[in-house]
Amino acid sequence: MNGADHEAEVEPRLLLIHFIRDVLGLTGTHIGCDTTSCGACTVLLGGKPVKSCTLFAVQVDEQELQTIEGLIENGQLHPLQEGFREEHGLQCGFCTPGMIMAAHALLKKNPHPSEQEIRRGISGNLCRCTGYQNIVKAVRYAADKIK
């Protein structure tokens, strides 16, 4: 998890999101629904975005995970974190960690996405505050900065 090894014994039915939040104590990843619809719980599994409410913790044994807490490097905000603040891509902040992780996966796969590609790339993540327009700008900001 975020570059460090963790060992824990868990019930087979423990959801990955509860493992992340309750066992590892990483509460940056949130829970917004119970039907895999909202994407608030998005984390990266082997670099790919997954909704951690719909995986069991045991399914990710021996694999590499990244959450919002693992995005900051040497005390420097990731360009996506910076972009979300600069472009006002968040309001209540609840969807933000999942949204940033989804965008992170998108930019890894497609470093120069068009507006439509950004919109499709984050369409598994719901935001109730921003109307997405500034989130699109924030992702574009990060794409330009990473370039």
Partner 1 sequence: MLQKTSAEVGGMGHSVKRKEDLRFVQGKGTYVDDVRLPRMVYGQMIRSPYAHAKITAIRTEAAKNHPGVLAVITGQDLEKAGLSWMPTLFHDKQMVLATGKVLFQSQEVAFVVAEDRYTAADAAELVEVEYEELPVLVNPHKALDADAPILRDDREEKTNQIFHWEVGDRHRTDQELQTAPVRAEVRAVFQRCHPAPLETCGCVADFNPATGRLTVWETSQAPHAHRTLFALVAGIPENNIRIIAPDIGGGFGNKVPIYPGYVCAVVASLQLGRPVKWIETRSENLQSTGFARDYHMTAEVAAEADGKVKALRVKTLADHGAFNAAAQPSKFPAGLFSVCTGSYDFSTAFCEVDGVYTNKAPGGIAYRCSFRVTEAAYLIERVMDVLAAELQIDPVDLRLKNFVPPDKFPYQSPLGWTYDSGNYQAAMNLALEKIGYRELRKEQKEKRERGELMGIGVSSFTEIVGAGPAHTFDIVGIKMFDSCEIRIHPTGKAIARMGTKAQGQGHETTFAQIIAQELGIPVADITVEEGDTDTAPYGLGTYASRSTPTAGAATAMASRKIREKAKKIAGHLLEVSAEDLEWEPGKFYVKGAPSKAKTIQEIAFAAYTNLPPDLEAGLEAVHYYDPPNLTFPFGTYICVLDIDKGTGEIKVRRFVAVDDCGNIINPMIVEGQIHGGLTEGLAIAFMQEIGYDESGNVQGGTFMDYLVPTAVETPNWETGKTCTPSPHHPLGAKGVGESPNVGSPAAFVNAVVDALSHLGVRHIDMPITPWKVWQILKEKGVAE
Q: 52-86 burial string, b = 16+ CB within 10 Å, else e?
A: bbebbbeebeeeebbbbbbbeeeeeebbbbebbee
d(C-alpha 33, C-alpha 95), whole Å? 11
Using CB under 8 A as the binding rule, whether residue 144 contacts partner 1 is answered as: no
In the complex, the smallest distance separating the C-beta of residue 16 from partner 1, rounded to whole angstroms, is: 14
Please name the residue ranges forming H helices in 63-132. Answer: 79-86, 96-109, 115-121
The reply to whether 6 sits near partner 1 by the rule CB under 8 A is: no
> From residue 88 to residue 117, what is the string marking binding to partner 1 with x (rule CB under 8 A)?
x-xxxxxxxx--x-----------------
Instruction: For residue 91, give the amino acid letter.
Output: Q
Which x/- pattern over 59-78 shows residues binding partner 1 (rule: CB under 8 A)? --------xxx-xx----x-
Q: Where on the chain is the footprint of partner 1 (CB under 8 A)?
A: 11, 13-14, 18, 21-22, 25-35, 37-38, 40, 67-69, 71-72, 77, 81-82, 84-86, 88, 90-97, 100, 118-120, 122-136
